Amino acid sequence: MPSSNVRIIVNGLVQGVGFRYYVYRQARSLGLTGYARNLPSGQVEVVACGEKGLIDELIKAVRNGPRFASVAEVYLEEINPVEKYKDFNIR
């Protein structure tokens, strides 16, 4: 499978509702590396690296979000990360 690296910016009610932990659990279960972090703008940034098909599964999960989140928009960008990630973390 081809590998991919993607940066995902999530808008909506995504801070203070367990969104990063939800993404963390999803990404770890898929064997992806990268991170999820809150941005000062109220958005959540996710960087995910791994097989393209698995990243597509993560993107579907991000669009749904956890129970108390409300995802309004998801922006995707293919990236070439400067850093190599050993696992998936919350920042």
**Is residue 42 helix, strand or coil?**
coil
Six token digits for residue 25: 């659990």
Among 1, 7, 36, 40, residue whose Cα is nearest residue 20: 36
Read off the pTM. Answer: 0.94
Sequence spans of domains, the chain: 3-84
Residue 61 has pLDDT above 70, yes or no: yes
Residue 26 has pLDDT above 90, yes or no: yes
pLDDT of residue 1: 60
Read off the pLDDT of residues 29-48 as tens digits, 9 standing for 90 and up.
Answer: 999 999 999 999 999 999 99
**Is residue 88 helix, strand or coil?**
strand
Average pLDDT on 52-77 reads: 96
Are the C-beta atoms of 37 and 20 separated by less than 8 Å?
A: yes
Residues forming the active site: 20, 38
3-84 has which fold?
A: Alpha-Beta Plaits (3.30.70)
**Is residue 65 helix, strand or coil?**
coil
